[in-house]
Structure 1
Amino acid sequence: MPAHAVAPLTPYLSMVAFAFIYYRRIRRSFGRQQWKSTRAIVRLSILGLVTAMLVLAACFLPHVALGIALGALLGAGLGLLSLRHTHTEWADGSGWYTPNPWIGGALSVVLLGRLIWRWSQGAFSTGGTSGQNASPLTMGIAAALVVYSLVHVGGLWLRMRALRPALPGRA
């Protein structure tokens, strides 16, 4: 398909991709989930990179720094609270966890609602390459979600590592 034929579809394709990614994010907030160590390490690496980018954004866009800092503090607190209410177990030869659906789901809905609000107000229609149209509230909510996920996944990784039964021949 030629590039000029795809260009009019780009906004719709990006929204479909965003919706799919968000669906997967919300789905991980509900029900019993199988623990996969490799996936957790990859997720922690990506979240660490995104956290570093948020810190850079706070340094280079001072008008959003307070929002990012407050969001990160709120996210860390919510991550610890959610981790406290997450049930973990080792059964059938693998780790399982049941996350608290309210905290992660609420953060996801708040971020999605804020992004929809900003989109409806035309915030993303200008191209936004300068960063001057970045909202402290939106960046704070994003920081809360990222730091929440970082604390929750990191805490789960430590908890599952401690729960894992010792393999024969491994001290």
Structure 2
Amino acid sequence: MSGSRNNHYVPEWHQRGFIEPGQDRLAYLDLSPRLHRLKEGGVKAEQSRFKSYPSQCFVQRDLYSTFFGTPIGTHVNDEIERKLFGTVDTTGAPAVKAFAGSDVNAWLQHFQELFTYIDIQKLRTPRARARNCSSRGIKFGAGRKLVPRIMFLLMRSNQTASSRTSISASRGA
């Protein structure tokens, strides 16, 4: 299966909330621009300030992809992106929107989803993944393994979905 390989660690819907009215791009500052060695012996950094579309910002290829004993590119598994982050982003968008408003009932309705979204944001950046993986001896590349915390959250999100179904069934009774 070849799935989504360009993974956003800040969802596009969240980025769009920071675009100036009447604009369609973000003002973007690259804190680590690529460096080029000059023939004269100096170093020059690429442009670090520019405008860019949300589809091009806060994205990294294969950030959440896993490869199970096969060469990179042969079999890519994107279940972390689809089943964990996709689900959290889908429920997080209305939760963030609710808390940006003043409807207290909407806050109560989306309370759990907001904090799940905030919690997962701490784990999904390249820096957080590198920190979590290096402290556990997990390597990146063709032998990349899943971060235990992400697996925990995936199981928790499945349990939360099951408990919501049982709660709504009991309320209907």
1 or 2, which has the higher helix percentage? Answer: 1
Pick 1 or 2: higher relative contact order, CA cutoff 8 A, min separation 6.
1
1 or 2, which has the higher strand percentage? Answer: 2
TM, length-normalised to structure 2: 0.35
Q: Which has the larger radius of gyration?
A: 2
